Structures are given as C-alpha cells and as structure tokens.
Amino acid sequence: MITFRPLTDNDAGLLLIWMSSPHVEPFWSEDGSTPEDEVEQALDLIWSDEGAPYIIELNRRPIGYIQSYLCGADQPEGTQGIDLFIGDVSLTGEGLGSQILRQFGDDLLAKGATRLVIDPASSNDRAISAFRKAGFDIDETRDGITLMSRSPKLSA
C-alpha cells in the first residue's frame, strides 16, 4: 500500500542518500545545485505555505520523495506542480512511479487543484512514460524540459 507521510527534519539523511544516487541526481539537481542544496530546499518546504513535501512509503517503508507546490502566474489559477523520485533504485521500472503519481494527483484534484503540472527532463524517457500512464499529457518540450499536465476529467 502506497502512503504519503509528511517530511520531517529526521528524513534529511535519507533524502541526501537518495538525492546523491546516480538514478536521481542527474534529474533532480538544477543549475549546479548539490544534493545538499536540494535537501535543504526540501526541508524548507516543511514550514512553507508554498508547497508540501512528503516521503513516499510502500507498506510503511520509505521508498521515495514527492512534493507539491502552487504554480506562479504563468499557469492558470489553482494549478499545482509536482516533483517526485523513487529513491530505492531496486523499485524503479516496476510501475510504481505512475501509480504513485496517479494516487497523489487524485488527492490534489479532490482537494481542489484545478490542474496539475510536472516537468521531467526531456531525456528522462522512463519518467515521461510513467507520467503518461498516470494521466498526464505532454504540453510542450523546450530547453531540455517536457512540460506535462493533467486536469480533472469532466463527467457528462
């Protein structure tokens, strides 16, 4: 069973291990940031109104990280961004990424988000495939980033 537990300061060491991993770091670190910088940014979200950080658990075992955040004025009102990774490399390629993103996204939409966006590196084919399976569509690709979105399904 997949659950999302709020990130705490006690998770810093685990986050650093994951964010330093070869399957995470190339896609997570931005603009020359280090894994330490990224951990600090994640921990800063704990006390922020701008986002919400969580540890992803599978059967109560930590396996990854996910965060949501309010998007800026360049997106429609109510749009929330999502970032995630599976930190346990032995669980990559098992279909968990799409399952995690669908569940987390369903929760955000049920709580009132009007649109969800995610922006994987264009070179990260596995993530893009997982995100499409989770109901996200490709909006555009530019500057090495693929912008994807998901909106609530309207019923007739």
Report the percentage of the chain scoring pLDDT > 90.
62
Over the stretch 54-82, which tens digit does the pLDDT of each residue have? 999 999 999 999 999 998 888 888 999 99
- Under DSSP, is residue 75 helix (H, G, I), strand (E, B) or coil? coil
- Where does the pLDDT of residue 155 fall: very low under 50, low under 70, confident under 90, or very high at 90 and above? very low
- Where does the pLDDT of residue 154 fall: very low under 50, low under 70, confident under 90, or very high at 90 and above? low
3-state secondary structure 20-73: CCCCCHHHHCCCCCCHHHHHHHHHHHHHCCCEEEEEEEECCEEEEEEEEEECCC
**Res. 48: pLDDT tops 60:** yes
Contact (Cβ atoms closer than 8 angstroms) between residue 89 and residue 23? yes
Location of structure tokens 């955000």:
108
Tell me what pLDDT residue 50 has.
85
Contact (Cβ atoms closer than 8 angstroms) between residue 102 and residue 96? no
Tell me what pLDDT residue 65 has.
96
**Res. 96: pLDDT tops 80:** yes
Over the stretch 119-136, which tens digit does the pLDDT of each residue have? 998 988 988 999 999 999
**Res. 30: pLDDT tops 80:** no
**pTM (two decimals):** 0.90
**Res. 138: pLDDT tops 70:** yes
Cα–Cα distances (Å) from 112 to 67, 77, 80, 107, 116, in that order, read 16, 11, 10, 9, 11
**Res. 36: pLDDT tops 50:** yes
**Res. 28: pLDDT tops 70:** yes
Contact (Cβ atoms closer than 8 angstroms) between residue 43 and residue 9? yes
- Under DSSP, is residue 77 helix (H, G, I), strand (E, B) or coil? coil
**Res. 156: pLDDT tops 80:** no
**Res. 22: pLDDT tops 80:** yes
Nearest in space to 50 (alpha carbons), one of 40, 58, 41, 59: 41
Location of structure tokens 């990854």:
64
Tokens describing residue 151:
């909106």
- State the amino acid at position 41 in one-letter form: Q
